[in-house]
């Protein structure tokens, strides 16, 4: 079933049926002011932190309520509806609507009883408040009097938990008043006698507002229950039914902002206005509303244009044209925007994450960076610096990097204080190893090899060059080896549900470690660090031999060893005998021989692949889980217990592509690509334009249903799998290799890529319908000897033509 379509020109997803199987949401704003809005206007806003800066209330797991509601009422018939289908939920035979989610804005159009409305929700670029820009038009042939009411449900406390559960406190600190064209909410208003900067019990007055610009306010309300009315709900608030709000504020109940304007519209006439919401002092709020009051339409138009041109500009650095619309729309717009959102928000705020995690997960964040390197490498570099500054001087990563991170002064998992504050009791085996591909990708994208000489502090004390940081990460793994001499599993590896312990060993980490040494050898060569190169060569050879000897099991790589020496993931195990990640990573790391790679990938295809992607392992744990197999707590076919863990899909795409298997690589992409399931919304449920953390596997009765939208490592790994793998864009320190792996049926494809200050027009031709390979490459008409373009061949506008066959 289909609920909408992609408008690729405008980079919008257009929802044509509002009764979607789940809230389909969009992200507005930036780290200063975040806002999430669903296709039915459900959602919330926050300043800096979803947990501690929450302005608008949203009740999780509760049918997408409340939200940024705009009600319309015909004062003659007393009939009312909303600018989004919900919350009033009119009969869809009579109520026609569209919701356009774009890059950092959402537009909703509705037509009902001869009245057309269009609301545009956005956060102006660089500002920390939000705008609900509204146009109401009378399309009927008689004059109409229409009440417009904007409703914003404020939290009583900026802390999400306090607002939701500590009612004996949070209700008694909040009140609202009216100020000309605004409802002003104050929290801890009784502290208003304090001087600037003074605090009582660390608290001062917090101010929020809902303002209306462009039209005069006729009536207002500042208290939720008075607005809704007891035994009423968001779909039939008494304030809207009555046609006039009570003009009273809140004192010791739930605060809200509700403002009504009365519009008299001649036939064909339209009126523009804007509701404004934020957390601002009274005079700042007054100035904000005033800015929109005179030329509301022009101001909003200009701000939206700025926003669109900023985001479209970011996406323009890498654009493709292939025979697959699904692939184009994901790479050009939606996967890319998804990558930016995970890059910005990590796992902080969505309809699944409420923001209570008070920091960045180390591995998640270092992985997320990879998804934006080809689009915004310098933005990525800043985050890489930040993550390097969260590496402990022993080389390990801080499992959780606090939002208040203070490089050089942090405590670590070795300190009880860190454990108590973050809930992370120990180091994880993989965290710092993610730095290797991420730093390598940044340096290769930009050619800025000197980056590795930049000095960056460690999290707890001291500082070192990026090169030194990477060496310490190697040292960390070297100092945490298990019984056989492979990297220990520690508290977890990539798989949070696999606790192999300090003497157990992880094949995945061993493969990451092997790969890390390959990368570091390249940096060491640049540094002319001969002694270290020979150390890495010997260590890598030894590790390689161990992995070969201990982990290859006829046609697959095992998953590791428990502390007791039990093998995980061997062919004969009754459960979890085939794991996805060790197979893909054996290829990505460069460890597996060609024969092993072919065999292992074939096993993945036969044993793990499904129509919605490859499952993480099989069969699911049920009766034979070892102590550290935490995945058994999940229902079979769910998350790490044999779910289709979508992040791993990116790695299998990459592995197949590296082997030149274009058909398979693209097949894996399509199986789990949101856009490719646009007509299966009733099965997938999640938005068809963003990735989810996992899809229920074949052991689930809901096979194909997907969960945990937007903020997932899937966005970046699939992006890398597609850009480096399928499209074959593989820069290194000194140039760009182009080695696509594509479906045979493609005649070719085109890429527009900004690269090191030049613009590349890349045309790949495939007349012989190969799935990979190389026949000829020309750069600005000059034929080169293979598929590698050295940096000195690049010109401001570089024409590249590659023949695969």
Sign of the torsion formed by the C-alpha atoms of 276, 208, 69 and 223 = negative
| Closer CB to ligand IFM, 267 or 425, in the complex | 425
| Closer CB to ligand IFM, 242 or 496, in the complex | 496
Question: Nearest approach, Cβ of 353 to ligand IFM (angstroms)?
Answer: 11
23-26 long-range contacts, Cβ below 8 Å, gap at least 24?
23/64, 23/351, 24/99, 24/101, 24/686, 24/687, 25/101, 25/350, 25/351, 25/687, 25/709, 25/710, 26/101, 26/102, 26/104, 26/105, 26/106
Joined together, the tokens standing for residue 332 give 């050009």
The structure tokens 């449900």 sit at 153
Question: Nearest approach, Cβ of 571 to ligand IFM (angstroms)?
Answer: 24
Distance (Å, whole) CA 64 – CA 86 = 9
Q: Of the candidates 363, 471, 521, 664, which one interacts with ligand IFM according to CB under 6 A? A: 363
Q: Of the candidates 496, 527, 602, 801, which one interacts with ligand IFM according to CB under 6 A? A: 496
| Closer CB to ligand IFM, 217 or 652, in the complex | 652
CB count in 10 Å sphere of residue 81: 25
Question: Nearest approach, Cβ of 507 to ligand IFM (angstroms)?
Answer: 15
* Cα torsion through 773, 776, 777, 782, rounded to 10: 170
What is the greatest pairwise CA distance in the chain? 87
Question: Nearest approach, Cβ of 330 to ligand IFM (angstroms)?
Answer: 21
Identify the DSSP state of 18: S
Which window, 48-56, 350-358, 492-500, 599-607, contacts ligand IFM (CB under 6 A)? 492-500
Q: How far is CA 157 from CA 34, 150, 263, 724, in A?
A: 17, 21, 34, 46
411-430 residues near ligand IFM, rule: CB under 6 A: none
| Closer CB to ligand IFM, 364 or 618, in the complex | 364
Q: Of the candidates 74, 218, 272, 364, which one interacts with ligand IFM according to CB under 6 A? A: 364
SS3 692: strand
Question: Nearest approach, Cβ of 797 to ligand IFM (angstroms)?
Answer: 41
SS3 689: coil
> DSSP per residue over 607-669, as a string?
IIEETTEE-SEESPPSS---TTBGGGGSPTTBTTBT-EEHHHHHHHHHHHHHTT-HHHHHHHH
Catalytic one of 204, 242, 496, 732: 496
φ, ψ of residue 227 to 5 degrees: the values are -70, -50
Q: Of the candidates 495, 583, 609, 798, which one interacts with ligand IFM according to CB under 6 A? A: 495
| Closer CB to ligand IFM, 50 or 361, in the complex | 361
Which window, 388-396, 493-501, 570-578, 580-588, contacts ligand IFM (CB under 6 A)? 493-501
Query: Which of 673, 655, 657 lies closest to 740, judged by CA?
Result: 657
| Closer CB to ligand IFM, 163 or 640, in the complex | 640
Give the full edge-to-edge strand order of the sheet including 33-38.
Answer: 25-30, 33-38, 43-47
Task: Confirm or reject binding of residue 494 to ligand IFM (CB under 6 A).
Answer: yes
Distance (Å, whole) CA 548 – CA 542 = 10
Question: Nearest approach, Cβ of 497 to ligand IFM (angstroms)?
Answer: 6
Query: Which of 344, 348, 403 lies closest to 369, judged by CA?
Result: 344
| Closer CB to ligand IFM, 178 or 494, in the complex | 494
Per rule CB under 6 A, count of chain residues that contact ligand IFM: 8
Question: Nearest approach, Cβ of 564 to ligand IFM (angstroms)?
Answer: 22
SS3 192: coil
Give the per-residue contact string, 437-456, with ligand IFM (x = CB under 6 A; - = no): --------------------
| Closer CB to ligand IFM, 57 or 363, in the complex | 363
Question: Nearest approach, Cβ of 112 to ligand IFM (angstroms)?
Answer: 43
| Closer CB to ligand IFM, 270 or 402, in the complex | 402
Which window, 444-452, 494-502, 526-534, 538-546, contacts ligand IFM (CB under 6 A)? 494-502
Distance (Å, whole) CA 395 – CA 517 = 14
Given a contact cutoff of 8 angstroms between Cβ atoms, the answer to whether 323 and 745 are in contact is yes
Q: How far is CA 582 from CA 35, 315, 557, 587, in A?
A: 38, 33, 6, 9
The residue with its CB nearest to ligand IFM is 496
Question: Nearest approach, Cβ of 634 to ligand IFM (angstroms)?
Answer: 11
Joined together, the tokens standing for residue 717 give 């790994």
SS3 738: strand
Question: Nearest approach, Cβ of 43 to ligand IFM (angstroms)?
Answer: 23
Identify the DSSP state of 481: B
Question: Nearest approach, Cβ of 579 to ligand IFM (angstroms)?
Answer: 13
Q: Which residues contact 300 (CB under 8 A, 6 or more apart)?
A: 120, 131, 133, 272, 274, 292
Question: Nearest approach, Cβ of 393 to ligand IFM (angstroms)?
Answer: 23
646-658 and 662-672 are packed helices; what angle lies between their axes, rounded to 10 degrees? 170
Question: Nearest approach, Cβ of 486 to ligand IFM (angstroms)?
Answer: 20
Task: Confirm or reject binding of residue 361 to ligand IFM (CB under 6 A).
Answer: yes
Given a contact cutoff of 8 angstroms between Cβ atoms, the answer to whether 456 and 464 are in contact is yes
Task: Confirm or reject binding of residue 640 to ligand IFM (CB under 6 A).
Answer: yes
Distance (Å, whole) CA 97 – CA 777 = 50
> DSSP per residue over 230-293, as a string?
TT--TTS-HHHHTSS------BSS-EEEEEEEEEEE-TT-EEEEEEEEE---HHHHHHHHHHHH
SS3 550: helix
| Closer CB to ligand IFM, 597 or 693, in the complex | 693
Task: Confirm or reject binding of residue 499 to ligand IFM (CB under 6 A).
Answer: no
| Closer CB to ligand IFM, 477 or 495, in the complex | 495
The structure tokens 């890498």 sit at 318
393 annotated active-site: no
| Start-to-end C-alpha separation, the chain | 39
| Closer CB to ligand IFM, 137 or 496, in the complex | 496
For the chain, the C-alpha Rg in angstroms (whole number) is: 28
Q: How far is CA 144 from CA 112, 115, 160, 352, 564, in A?
A: 13, 9, 41, 42, 78
| Closer CB to ligand IFM, 627 or 799, in the complex | 627
Residues in touch with ligand IFM (CB under 6 A): 361, 363-364, 494-497, 640
**Catalytic residue numbers, as ranges:** 496
């Amino acid at each position: 079933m289909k609920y909408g379509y992609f408008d690729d020109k405008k980079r919008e997803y257009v929802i044509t049926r509002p009764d979607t199987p789940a809230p389909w949401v969009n992200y507005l704003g930036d780290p200063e002011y975040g806002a999430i809005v669903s296709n039915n206007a459900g959602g919330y806003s926050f300043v800096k932190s979803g947990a501690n800066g929450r302005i608008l209330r949203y009740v999780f797991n509760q049918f997408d309520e409340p939200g940024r509601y705009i009600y319309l009422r015909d004062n003659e018939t007393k009939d009312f509806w909303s600018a989004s289908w919900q919350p009033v939920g009119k009969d869809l035979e009579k109520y026609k609507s569209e919701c356009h989610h774009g890059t950092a804005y959402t537009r909703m159009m509705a037509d009902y009883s001869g009245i057309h409305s269009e609301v545009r929700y956005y956060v102006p670029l660089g500002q920390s408040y939000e705008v609900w820009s509204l146009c109401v038009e009378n399309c009927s042939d008689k004059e109409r009097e229409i009440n417009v009411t904007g409703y914003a449900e404020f939290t009583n406390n900026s802390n999400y938990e306090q607002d939701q559960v500590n009612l004996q406190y949070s209700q008694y600190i909040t009140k609202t008043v009216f100020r000309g064209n605004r409802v002003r909410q104050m929290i801890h208003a009784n502290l208003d006698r304090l001087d600037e900067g003074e605090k009582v019990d660390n608290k001062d007055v917090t101010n929020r507002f809902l303002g209306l610009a462009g039209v005069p306010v006729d009536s207002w309300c500042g208290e939720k229950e008075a607005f809704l009315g007891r035994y009423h709900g968001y779909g039939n608030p008494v304030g809207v039914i009555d046609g006039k709000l009570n003009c009273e504020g809140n004192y010791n109940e739930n605060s809200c902002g509700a403002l009504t304007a009365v519009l008299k519209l001649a036939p064909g006439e339209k009126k523009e206005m804007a509701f404004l919401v934020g957390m601002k002092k009274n005079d700042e709020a007054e100035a904000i509303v005033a800015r929109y009051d005179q030329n509301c339409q022009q101001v909003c138009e200009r701000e939206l244009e700025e926003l669109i041109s900023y985001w479209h500009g970011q996406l323009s650095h890498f654009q493709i044209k292939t025979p697959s619309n699904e692939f184009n729309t994901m790479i050009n717009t939606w996967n890319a925007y998804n990558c930016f959102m995970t890059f910005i928000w990590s796992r902080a705020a969505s309809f699944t994450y409420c923001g209570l995690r008070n920091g960045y997960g180390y591995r998640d964040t270092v992985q997320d960076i990879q998804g934006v390197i080809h689009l915004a490498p310098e933005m990525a570099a800043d985050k890489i610096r930040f993550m390097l500054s969260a590496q402990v001087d022993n080389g390990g990563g801080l499992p959780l990097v606090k939002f208040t991170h203070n490089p050089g002064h942090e405590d670590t998992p070795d300190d009880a204080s860190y454990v108590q504050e973050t809930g992370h009791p120990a180091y994880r085996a993989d965290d710092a190893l993610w730095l290797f591909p991420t730093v390598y990708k940044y340096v290769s994208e930009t050619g800025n090899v000197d980056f590795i000489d930049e000095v960056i502090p460690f999290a707890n004390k001291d500082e070192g060059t990026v090169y030194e940081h990477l060496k310490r990460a190697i040292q960390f793994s070297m100092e945490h080896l298990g019984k056989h001499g492979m990297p220990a599993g520690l508290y977890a590896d990539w798989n949070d549900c696999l606790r192999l312990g300090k003497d157990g060993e992880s094949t995945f980490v061993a493969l990451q470690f092997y790969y890390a040494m390959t990368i570091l050898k390249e940096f060491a060569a640049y540094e002319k660090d001969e002694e270290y190169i020979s150390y890495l060569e010997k260590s890598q050879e030894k590790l390689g031999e161990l992995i070969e000897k201990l982990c290859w099991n006829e046609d697959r790589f095992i998953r590791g060893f428990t502390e007791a020496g039990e093998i995980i993931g061997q062919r004969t195990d009754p459960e979890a005998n085939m794991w996805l990640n060790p197979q893909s990573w054996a290829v990505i790391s460069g460890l597996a021989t060609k024969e092993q790679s072919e065999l292992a990938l074939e096993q993945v295809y036969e044993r793990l692949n499904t129509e919605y992607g490859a499952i993480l392992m099989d069969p699911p744990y049920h009766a034979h889980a070892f102590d550290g197999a935490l995945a058994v707590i999940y229902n079979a076919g769910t998350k790490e217990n044999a779910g289709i863990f979508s992040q791993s899909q990116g790695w299998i795409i990459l592995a197949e592509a590296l082997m030149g298997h274009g058909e398979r690589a693209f097949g894996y992409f399509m199986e789990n690509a949101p856009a490719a399931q646009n007509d299966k919304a009733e099965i997938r449920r999640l938005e068809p334009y963003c990735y989810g953390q996992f899809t229920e596997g074949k052991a689930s009765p809901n096979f194909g249903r997907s969960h945990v939208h937007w903020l997932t490592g899937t966005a970046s790994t699939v992006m890398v799998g597609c850009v480096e793998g399928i499209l074959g864009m593989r820069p290194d320190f000194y140039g760009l290799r182009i080695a696509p792996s594509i479906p045979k049926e493609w005649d070719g494809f085109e890429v527009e890529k900004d690269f090191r200050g030049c613009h590349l027009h890349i045309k790949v031709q495939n007349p012989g319908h190969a799935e990979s390979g190389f026949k000829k490459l020309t750069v600005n008409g000059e034929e080169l000897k293979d598929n590698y373009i050295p940096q000195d061949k690049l010109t401001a506008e570089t024409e590249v033509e590659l023949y695969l066959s």
